[in-house]
Structure 1
Amino acid sequence: MRRRLDLSRPVPIELVEECLTVALQAPSGSNTQRWHWLVLTDPEIRRAIGELYRRSCTAYLESPGAAGKLFADDPVRGPVQERVGKSVAYLAERMGDVPVLVIPCLRVPGGLGGGNQAGTWGSLLPAAWSYMLAARARGLGTAWTTLHLRYEKEAAELLGLPDDVYQGALIPTAYSLGVGFNPAPREPLAKVMHRDRW
């Protein structure tokens, strides 16, 4: 999807709001609903966040764990990973040009502590994914990204976030170029499903 975002077509804010309204139906721990949504449409702010993302992505792409370098010896997975790596690089150079950037956030009074991080983030991530599915159903493309969080503090300052609000992702949102989507290559279910015991 990273290469299929239409950077030239504006996205109506009403359509984004419709998708976020769907997202608010997602579950949250103890029904706290501590989510908040930054919807970035201002070109200068998008460019600034895009630059943080690009800087972080440059370091990521040079690391041994970059998507394009994984499974290099596997004749099936290697080429897939190489395409993923190229799409990551493509988006990194264009993140600031995406018409809408959505940053799902979580307000955590007292700050993020140790312990059950899954429970904490489980109150935001289903809503963010629901946003992405709602966008897909309306002809919009999205991508789940987190690389800008390497510069989370800088992004928070730029966006004026309170100290107890944490960013969960950066979701570029644009109309998609084309509507035909094939299933992504994945490991077979039998390889990753465990019944009753590992």
Structure 2
Amino acid sequence: MTPDELLTTTRTVRRRLDLERPVPRELIEDCVRIALQAPSGSNRQTWQWLVVTDPDQRAAIGAVYKKACEAYLESQGAAGKLFADDPERSKVQQRVHDSVAYLADRMGDVPVLVLPCLKVAGGRLPSGNQGGLWGSLLPAAWSFCLAARDRGLGTAWTTLHLTYESEVAEILDLPDDVYQSVLLPTAYYTGDGFKPAPRQPVSEVLHWNRW
């Protein structure tokens, strides 16, 4: 794929993750190796990566995720409840809503769960600006998704589990100074390709010099 194709066709995969086919360890390690080339503030590289393949641990995380997802799907901010006054966009939102519910029922069955984490000096997140901290991890997490896409793997970017972050931390035996960012279920992709998603025109979101 060209860089433009990779960047415009890496989509969230929920329904078309192969739950039966194992993902080789070296393939995940390759994706993490590429992810580690992402920017890191002051070159601190305070990221840590947990890759969960153990069936019992995956099932435990899946149960926590399902609990969080059920609350989300009932909330007013759930995907299927957005843009209800726009029939065309509402159809898209409902498909997203249904796919979120689908993955919630199967999160524990996804063969690989990847959790990029941040190790914080002193053990506590600062009360002020945290942009530099998370900005030194989230680009790497997205690079992982791009590398996975290039290797025939699908991923989904989700943070719903953070509603119960401490429960997941206990499952993973995380130290107190390590914070989770995003959960990336990862598996072989069972579809036949992606295309760019509908997005707002650049003219509606781009501002030059002033608002």
Q: Would you call these one fold, judging by a TM-score over 0.5?
A: yes
SS at match of 1:3: coil
Structure 1 Cα separation of the partners of residues 209 and 55 of structure 2: 51
Percent identity between the aligned chains?
70
Equivalent position of 2:167 in the other structure: 154
Structure 1 Cα separation of the partners of residues 195 and 84 of structure 2: 23
User: C-alpha root-mean-square deviation of aligned residues, in Å?
Assistant: 0.8
TM-score by length of 1: 0.98
Q: Decide which of 59, 63, 71 is 1:47's aligned counterpart.
A: 59
Q: Is contact 1:139–1:179 with CA below 8 Å preserved after alignment?
A: no
Equivalent position of 1:31 in the other structure: 43
Equivalent position of 1:97 in the other structure: 109
Segments of 5+ residues of structure 1 without an aligned counterpart are: none
Equivalent position of 1:122 in the other structure: 135
Structure 2 Cα separation of the partners of residues 19 and 39 of structure 1: 12
User: Are residue 12 (structure 1) and residue 24 (structure 2) matched?
Assistant: yes
Q: Decide which of 73, 77, 84 is 1:61's aligned counterpart.
A: 73
Give the AA of the match of 1:45: Q
Q: Deviations over 1:75-101 (max 9, x none)?
A: 221111111101100000000000000
SS at match of 2:30: helix
**Number of positions where the alignment pairs a residue of Structure 1 with one of Structure 2:** 198
Give the alignment of 1:102-181 within 5 angstroms. Answer: 102-110=114-122, 111-181=124-194
Post-superposition shift, 1:119? 1.1
Q: Is contact 1:41–1:100 with CA below 8 Å preserved after alignment?
A: yes
Q: Deviations over 1:155-176 (max 9, x none)?
A: 1111011101000010000000
Equivalent position of 1:74 in the other structure: 86
Give the AA of the match of 1:164: D
TM-score by length of 2: 0.92
Structure 2 Cα separation of the partners of residues 185 and 89 of structure 1: 22
